[in-house]
Amino acid sequence: MSAFGPSLSPRQEEILTRVVESYVATGAPVGSKTLVQKSAIGASASTVRFELAVLEEHGLLTHPHTSAGRVPTDVGYRYYVDRVLERLESRPADLELDLSEATTEVDSALRATTDGLAQLTHLLALVSAPPLETTVVRHVEVLLLQPQLAMVVVITSTGGVSKRLFAFAEPVDPGLAEWAAEYLNDRVAGLQLGARMLRSRFEDPELSAHEREFLAELLPTFTDLVETGEPSLYVGGTAGLLDEFRTDELRGYRRLLEMLEQRAATLELVRATLLSKQPFVRVGSEFADPELRSISLVAAPYGLRHRNLGTVSLLGPTRMDYVKAIDAVRSAAHELSLFVEDIYEN
């Protein structure tokens, strides 16, 4: 065996590919007769039967005890998926994903991506939002509600709105509150929440001591948003996914729904994708949770040239159309990357 699985002859690799694709399409075990008649393999039925037996010895195929046909194992899916990933075109295919109504809000774009992927693939779509520290400040309001009570409103590029109240011991000069709003929109809007430059704008030595003191009171609106906020995860397609699972796979589906209710566990499923610029696939038994052995994940990162910001993922049964799923997440990630580049780099 090689590092990527057993070494197969071209004919064995073709037969494995045909078995995977036929099983994905029909859900029925695949026999030699079907392969010869419907897959245009240039070999006799007896030769195909022999090769199927070899593939089974390698652990790539198995057969239900009630059928002479074969079905892929997780190792077989893994071998198939690795070959698909090796042969990807440099540019993903175009995906009919309309982000025109998202304007400059990442939140809208992520929701549109999730809904579009779920409708296109009939799988569970997960899209993780950029880390909160990378979120760009879009607009700031400083509102004097009462002489000694001010409210700061921060609107971010994700579409999020954060509000915080500040009580002061002495009445606040209305002119100071108005100045602070103008200053923050001029000097802080457009910066990322976690940027050092954002903090420095609150300590500008050219400001008066009174102005710096007032801004220092307002700074927690921005810093606490990063420290206490949870990253967003957008989910779509939970209802339609049920149709993709067979009766013997429903345990995995139920476990998946349980994990969706646990934000940390769900984010952990897609976290590995952030470490690579390449598409990522995890098949069945490759999950740490044994109850997910009937599940596969296909994901791709999106973001900037120098940094991944989030992931676009599809979850479904191991018997999924991996080519379509990989194409879909790559295309969606490409579109999202173009979208966030306009927001983060302008």
Q: Give Cβ neighbours of residue 342 (< 8 Å, ≥ 6 apart).
A: 104
Query: Is 91 within the bounds of a domain?
Result: no
pLDDT digits over 280-294, tens only? 899 988 888 887 888
pLDDT digits over 37-63, tens only? 877 777 888 898 899 999 999 999 998
Query: Is 308 within the bounds of a domain?
Result: yes
284: CATH:
3.30.450.40
Query: Is 95 within the bounds of a domain?
Result: no
Among residues 228, 251, 282, the one where a domain terminates is 228
Query: Is 42 within the bounds of a domain?
Result: yes
58: CATH:
1.10.10.10
**Alpha helices (H) along 219-296:** 220-228, 238-241, 250-260, 263-271
Indicate if 79 and 173 belong to the same structural domain.
no
pTM, two decimals, is 0.78
Compute mean pLDDT per 10 residues along the chain, 346 residues long, and list them: 67 93 90 81 85 93 82 94 88 66 71 88 87 84 94 84 90 95 93 85 92 93 74 73 63 69 64 74 86 87 86 90 93 88 70
Q: What is the DSSP string of 129-198?
A: PPPGGGPBEEEEEEEEEETTEEEEEEEETTS-EEEEEEE-SSPPPHHHHHHHHHHHHHHTTTSBTT-HHH
Show the domain range for 293. 100-131+232-344
Which pLDDT score, from 0 to 100, does residue 3 have? 45
Indicate if 239 and 338 belong to the same structural domain.
yes
Query: Is 1 within the bounds of a domain?
Result: no
Q: What is the DSSP string of 183-197?
A: HHHHHTTTSBTT-HH
